Structure 1
């Protein structure tokens, strides 16, 4: 869950230097990125081919929203990430092990 996997290189998010993932996310449209995250139907790790990048779509087909997700919802979520960036959300995953240790009995 806390991993981003490239086709030829697996990198644990918590091992990335602060700013690396954020820099990758900043190069793409927040709405497209949020849509990709929320509409992905593949279980397991979120795979990102290096040549495509976080916001790319290898076959350039449009992303279709499911019935439970409106364009307004995506725009709202994306606007929050556009204002504040992705660091807070990424830090949640970077700190998973620490949170587990601190809350363990």
Structure 2
């Protein structure tokens, strides 16, 4: 796996961090989650930008969003902010399969 792909995966993980921090910030009214949101957002975007120098935009963006979406949804289920159902978990597994598939064909 190239450095661009490693950075893209890490950036996708940071997308889940900033999405969760944004929720915890309560409309950017709480300082620490707001600060975490800003730092992780900037780092996530910088990583995506770096990855786009090697990976086509359609593939990179789909992978970045897919990783962020799966991790954000999984964290919400783990922390019981969202219901975990068999169908939701199955759909997230399908999304993971799509992300892996995009890497495989790239």
TM > 0.5: no
Q: Provide TM-score, normalisation by structure 2.
A: 0.28
- Identify the structure with bigger relative contact order (alpha carbons < 8 Å, sequence gap 6+): 1
